[in-house]
């Protein structure tokens, strides 16, 4: 089934963001419990920096620059510190992670996504951490065209199949998608080759019947 929302197929950022958002929706539907720790920390740092800037502006507007210049200097230093912390957090802690969660049996999953400029390929680095044992990393790279049709609609089935068939923790909860042969609907249009052949056969028969009816001579009235 394809989404009714359309995006520009040449916009690599939109392709990535749409795919990223779909991961959370899919895994949560399989009873994974999502962790929002990384996002919460990033939002806290971002909003704190915004709050400092707002307070600094209010000081300057109400009391004037000279009366608040020491406070302004401290606010600028704090704003710089918060923004630097936010940048370091995104680069060295999040590292492109778009989903963190735990499966019903306690296995933890972390998914990071990335793309390369001018290369419409979606790269995933998935880390599975069992309740006991060492973490396992799985790398997946697929072109966006596998789950976006030519009009920019997102098609869920092939995207879910990619995850379920390559990640055991997901495949255990979605056995249907773990076997790609079950789904035969392509991204462009939603019809299998057999269905398209049947439609064409019916259309050809209708066209032949219409043409024959048009050539049939009409009886002249007495």
CA 122 to chain centre: 10
Give the pLDDT score at 216: 52
The domain segmentation of the chain, as residue ranges, is: 16-32+103-184, 36-95
Give the pLDDT score at 200: 46
Give the pLDDT score at 5: 76
Q: Which residue has the tokens 């991961």?
A: 23
Neighbours of 9 (CB within 10 A): 17
Give the pLDDT score at 130: 94
Which residues are bridge partners to 153 per DSSP?
A: 6
> Judging by DSSP bridges, how do beta strands 2-6 and 153-155 pair with one another?
antiparallel
Minimum mean pLDDT among 32-36, 57-61, 101-105, 178-182: which range? 178-182
Query: Looking at residue 93, what DSSP letter applies?
Result: I
pLDDT-derived band at 28 (thresholds 50, 70, 90) equals: very high
Using a pLDDT cut of 70, give the percent of the chain over it. 79
Give the pLDDT score at 99: 97
Helix (H) or strand (E) holding 75: helix 65-88
Q: Which residues in 104-130 are b (16+ Cβ under 10 Å) and which e?
A: eeebbbbbbbebeeeeeebbbbbebbe
Give the pLDDT score at 188: 45
**69-79, pLDDT tens digit by residue?**
888 889 999 99
Give the pLDDT score at 196: 42
| Contacting residues for 154 by C-beta, under 8 A, at least 6 apart | 2, 3, 5, 7, 18, 19, 22, 147, 148
Give the pLDDT score at 209: 52
Whether residue 133 contacts residue 145, with contact meaning beta carbons closer than 8 Å, is answered with: no
CATH number of 16-32+103-184: 3.30.160
Whether residue 68 contacts residue 57, with contact meaning beta carbons closer than 8 Å, is answered with: no
**137-193, pLDDT tens digit by residue?**
999 999 999 999 989 999 999 999 999 999 999 999 999 999 866 544 444 444 444
As a whole number, the mean pLDDT across the chain is 83
Give the pLDDT score at 96: 93
């Amino acid at each position: 089934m394809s989404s009714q929302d359309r995006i520009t197929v040449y916009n690599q950022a939109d392709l990535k963001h749409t795919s990223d958002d779909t991961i959370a929706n899919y895994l949560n539907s399989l009873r994974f419990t999502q962790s929002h720790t990384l996002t919460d920390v990033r939002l806290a740092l971002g909003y704190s920096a915004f709050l400092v800037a707002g307070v600094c502006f209010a000081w300057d507007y109400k009391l004037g620059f000279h009366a608040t210049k020491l406070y302004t200097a401290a606010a600028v230093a704090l704003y710089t510190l918060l923004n630097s912390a936010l940048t370091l957090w995104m680069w060295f802690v999040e590292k492109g992670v778009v989903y963190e969660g735990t499966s019903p049996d306690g296995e933890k999953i972390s998914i990071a996504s990335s793309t390369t400029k001018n290369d419409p390929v979606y790269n995933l680095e998935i880390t599975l951490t069992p309740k006991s044992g060492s973490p396992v990393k799985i790398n997946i790279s697929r072109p966006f065209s596998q789950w976006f049709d030519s009009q920019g609609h997102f098609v869920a089935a092939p995207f879910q199949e990619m995850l379920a068939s390559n990640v055991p923790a997901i495949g255990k909860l979605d056995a249907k998608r773990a076997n790609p042969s079950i789904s035969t609907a392509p991204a462009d249009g939603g019809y299998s080759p057999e269905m398209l052949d049947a439609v064409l056969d019916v259309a050809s028969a209708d066209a032949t019947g219409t043409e024959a009816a048009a050539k049939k001579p009409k009886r002249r009235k007495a």
